[in-house]
Amino acid sequence: MLEEICLGVYMSLEAFNKQVSELINKVSKSVVTIFTTVPSIDLFFGYREFRGAGSGFFVEEGLIVTNAHVVLNASEVNVLIPNRKREKAKVLDVDPYRDLALLRVNVRDVEPLKLGDSDLLSVGEMVFAIGSPLGLPGPSVSMGVISALGRTISGEKLVLEDLIQTDAAINPGNSGGPLINARGEVIGVATAIIPYAQGIGFAIPINTVKRFLEMIRKYGAPVRAWLGIYVTPVTNEVATLYDLPVNEGVIIVNIVPGSPAEEYGLKVGDIIIEAAGKLVKKVSDLRTAVEDSIDSECVELRIVRGYKTFKTCIPPIVEKIK
In the chain the first and final C-alpha atoms are separated, in Å, by: 67
Q: At what angle do helices 206-219 and 283-292 cross, to 10 degrees?
A: 10
CATH 2.30.42.10 maps onto the chain at 222-320
Q: What is the amino acid identity at position 238?
A: V
**Confidence band (pLDDT; 50, 70, 90) for 97?**
confident
How far apart are alpha carbons 130 and 215 in whole angstroms?
Answer: 26
What's the rounded mean pLDDT across residues 35-42?
A: 80
Which residues are CB-neighbours of 32 under 8 A, at least 6 positions away? 55, 56, 57, 58, 64, 79, 80, 81, 82
- Minimal CA–CA distance to 68: which of 156, 191, 152? 191
pLDDT for res 197: 57
- Which is more confident, 66 or 13? 66
Q: Does residue 293 have an active-site annotation?
A: no
How far apart are alpha carbons 131 and 143 in whole angstroms?
Answer: 12
Q: Which of the following is catalytic: 28, 55, 69, 284?
A: 69
How far apart are alpha carbons 261 and 226 in whole angstroms?
Answer: 9
**H or E element: which one contains 274?**
strand 271-275
Q: Does residue 285 have an active-site annotation?
A: no
How far apart are alpha carbons 104 and 139 in whole angstroms?
Answer: 19
Q: Is the pLDDT of residue 7 over 60?
A: no
How far apart are alpha carbons 197 and 170 in whole angstroms?
Answer: 9
pLDDT for res 2: 57
- Minimal CA–CA distance to 191: which of 309, 271, 182, 200? 200
Q: Which of the following is catalytic: 30, 175, 284, 293?
A: 175
What's the rounded mean pLDDT across residues 294-311?
A: 91
**H or E element: which one contains 72?**
none
CATH 2.40.10.10 maps onto the chain at 118-214
Q: Which of the following is catalytic: 99, 162, 270, 285?
A: 99
**Confidence band (pLDDT; 50, 70, 90) for 1?**
low
118-214 has which fold?
Answer: Thrombin, subunit H (2.40.10)
Q: The pTM is what?
A: 0.82
- What mean pLDDT value characterizes the chain? 87
Q: Does residue 167 have an active-site annotation?
A: no
Radius of gyration of the chain (CA): 21
Assigned CATH class of 222-320: mainly beta
Helical residues (DSSP H) of 131-205, grouped into ranges: none
